[in-house]
Structure 1
Amino acid sequence: MFKPSPFGWVSQYFIGFFFAYGVYLPFWALWFEGQGISASDVGLLMGLGFATRCVANLIITPRIHRVESLLPALRWATLACTIFIACHLFAGANFALLALVTVLFNLSFGPVVPLSDAMANHYSGKQMLDYGRTRLWGSVAFVGGSTAVGYLAAQFGANMIVYTALAGFILSMLFVLRNPNPMPISDTHIATQRPKLSLLLREWPVVKFLALIALIQGSHAAYYSFSSIYWKEVGHPESLIGYLWSLGVIAEVAVFAFSKRWFNGWSLRSLFLISSLGVIVRWALTASTTEVYALVVIQLLHGVTFAMAHIAAIQYIQKSDASKMVALQALYNAIPLGAFIALMMALSGWGYELWGANIFWAMSIMGIFALFIKVEPSSRAPVSSDAISDHEAQN
């Protein structure tokens, strides 16, 4: 069987996986709605997915210690994703069945990003690939998935959302079955320990950092769950919605691509302040208007509200004590990007059902609270460009 280079293997796997993710993240709430699920239950199901991913990344992912285990784990996780995404077609409008397949799918889905990133980082450390150049193909595929499914759903109905995501996972399955050349093998035995997360959660600076990121990234909850539904309700076609989601990702990728040039010398405080102001403006606009020109501005602000905050978070983690870096990364992915977004998705579901688009005003207010939280990590070396590029795993 043909054995691709590390760059070919990882970039092609990213293409399949993030094509499917570009379908899932923007359009899954729309598919739930198409099954007759209420807005509050859509929020619960979407939040349940994020909560499950949080649990998976705290419990399952840390058990994959050695690099030799990455490829088998990715194969099993990708196979499970493929099976459970297809199971949605048989759940219909049964909330209990939808909740079950949501949990099973996200238990499989959650570990894929950190495991595939670990593969990329392993080969990057051996100078066999450039992480940023490799990861870029995942971003391109995300845009392709969200664009394609918007057109297909508009032409052929909501079930095309599941079929298109399934096609992406089948492609991922074909790619992950191949062996890269060379295979990932540890040079030396490295003892690994699970991070002491409970100890970090007792430190006030860490709590402030997690709270700040939770406010900024958690403000995206209503956007992830209900922006597609909202924009469709006011008359925008699925094809336009797909283009808008793609525009948001393009803005995010642009900020990461030029972050070293644009933000060199900026303090963490400045990055977090600009991101918080972006949150205030973006969601206030979303609550106020659905004009296409305004939606373009709203989506371009994704580079500010998500990407700049992530850049600042990565810098915070890398400037902290070396002994805390792994644990901080785990907490960052599990709490602000997992558990808190899950909670906010559930709350935004009830809010959207009661207040409609006014729920986005609540998201905007979260940016105001974020303005008043300051974080101060201990001084360390500057963040690497590869680490800054590692951004879309939780978007």
Structure 2
Amino acid sequence: MKHLSTRLSFSQFASGSVSGVFIPFFAASLAWRGLSADQIGLLLSTALILRAVAGPLSGIFADARNDRRAVMLVLYWIMVAGFGSLCVVGSPLLIFLVSVPAYIAYGAATPLLESVSVRLAERFGFDYGRVRIWASSAFVVMNVTGGIVVKFLGLGAVAPMLTIGAALCVVSTIMLPAPPATEGAAPLGSRLKATLEETKELLRTPVFLVFLAAASCEQATHAFYYGYGGLHWKAIGYSEMLIGIIWPLGVFAEIALFSQALRVLRLFGPSKLLLMGGLVAIVRWTILAFDPPLPLVIFAQFMHGGTFALAHLGAVFFILKAVPQRLSATAQSLYFVGSQGIMMGLATLAIGPVYSSLGGKAYLMMTALGVVSIGFTLLLARRWHGEAIIHGGKSEHVDTI
């Protein structure tokens, strides 16, 4: 396990390099390839819907195998194949057939990497946040680098950049230690059945459901910002250059907070971190709802460290403390599906008509969602006090990736 934190940091950097290209440029590259807005929407929505199923199933399978590394490798190879094929295919149908599996695989692999990072940080005494900052750093680097590449080479360069990022994910995962051999392990079928049963138990546990509601509502407060934030700034007169300058400020705040993750956890604990994230969300989105002067917009951008990073740290540390490590990937996948899939999708769908009618005042809908998240978090704090919420079952090898 020598230099494990360095190898995990490389894995996080590789993962962030994919999202740093995918999020700002992928949809635009599809339009450049000739897909209509409706076709792009169908492709992305299909991937999101299927990811809501594939993500938890990948987590369950990884936990049943007690080997997240192998499942991550399979998913990353699917990304390499999908994005690599995107470099050469041209028809809308083929673009759909190669892009959707790659998008699903990336969404399924990310929570597996998170579960491995936070659990092994606890096991070997290094700071999860110091590992996680490399994903955020890579995101910013590839935002800038990708923009430069697209400016000079065009949107056709997006697929090759995504392929390179996916290949880095494969390499970085191969560099992680393979799980130790286990003597006398039960057949995979019986282990899978046991994991499925424990997953059902987890989903019947009120504390976990309250946690999912709190974390998902809090992260979904970003729906307007992610979907319409840049568009709205442009509508009120901000230039593309100004938007490009102020957008990464939030990620810099996120990086700063992740760098102090262990200290922050010791001071506040998971429930309070989620609560603080919700409180910051109320302030941030209320400020932006009234199209304030630029200095206040910049101030609100730095609050991303609260709205995203504080809440995310609260969520992953809740899973670490409340869920046994044999279900770590499953629980992390359920959190990602709830926060980045189902609830984010519903909020994004609902906010569109509101923005059409009210413009920037639609941010107040995100403020209201922040209030809802605080309600669930207060309920969580009353019902959970740091204990494990699932008991029984066989323990796994503590060194397992």
In the superposition, the TM-score normalised over structure 1's length comes to 0.75
Q: CA deviation at 1:233?
A: 3.5
Cα RMSD for the two superposed structures: 4.0
Q: CA deviation at 1:305?
A: 0.9
Q: Which residue number in structure 2 is paired with residue 377 of structure 1?
A: 384
Distance 2:248 2:159 in 1: 16
Q: Which residue number in structure 1 is paired with residue 281 of structure 2?
A: 279
Return closer, same or farther for 1:224/1:57 CA change in 2, 3 Å cut-off.
same
Q: Which residue number in structure 2 is paired with residue 391 of structure 1?
A: none
**Which runs of no fewer than 5 residues in structure 2 stay unpaired?**
389-401
Q: May I ask how many residue pairs the two structures share in their alignment?
A: 370
Return closer, same or farther for 1:259/1:343 CA change in 2, 3 Å cut-off.
same
Q: CA deviation at 1:335?
A: 1.8
Distance 1:268 1:10 in 2: 23
Q: Which residue number in structure 2 is paired with residue 329 of structure 1?
A: 332
Q: Which residue number in structure 2 is paired with residue 18 of structure 1?
A: 16
SS of 1:111's equivalent in the other structure is helix
Deviations 1:329-357 (A, max 9, x none): 33222223322212222223344344433
Return closer, same or farther for 1:42/1:151 CA change in 2, 3 Å cut-off.
same
Q: CA deviation at 1:240?
A: 3.6
Give the conservation status (yes or no) of the 8 Å contact 2:149–2:157.
no
**Residue identity opposite 1:76 in structure 2:** W
* Percent identity over paired residues: 26
Return closer, same or farther for 1:268/1:114 CA change in 2, 3 Å cut-off.
closer
Return closer, same or farther for 1:223/1:10 CA change in 2, 3 Å cut-off.
same
Distance 1:181 1:259 in 2: 25
Q: Which residue number in structure 2 is paired with residue 63 of structure 1?
A: 61
Q: Which residue number in structure 1 is paired with residue 220 of structure 2?
A: 218
Return closer, same or farther for 1:144/1:230 CA change in 2, 3 Å cut-off.
same
Give the conservation status (yes or no) of the 8 Å contact 2:82–2:99.
no
Q: CA deviation at 1:303?
A: 1.0
Q: Which residue number in structure 1 is paired with residue 133 of structure 2?
A: 136
Q: Which residue number in structure 1 is paired with residue 83 of structure 2?
A: 82
Q: CA deviation at 1:144?
A: 0.5
Distance 2:216 2:48 in 1: 13
**Map of 1:45-60 to 2, 5 A cutoff?**
48-60=46-58
Q: Which residue number in structure 1 is paired with residue 263 of structure 2?
A: 261
**Map of 1:20-39 to 2, 5 A cutoff?**
20-28=18-26
Q: Which residue number in structure 1 is paired with residue 180 of structure 2?
A: 186
Q: Which residue number in structure 2 is paired with residue 347 of structure 1?
A: 350
More deviation in 221-230 or 121-130?
Answer: 121-130
In the superposition, the TM-score normalised over structure 2's length comes to 0.74
Give the conservation status (yes or no) of the 8 Å contact 1:42–1:349.
no
Q: 1:365 pairs with 355, 364, 368, which one? A: 368
SS of 1:266's equivalent in the other structure is helix
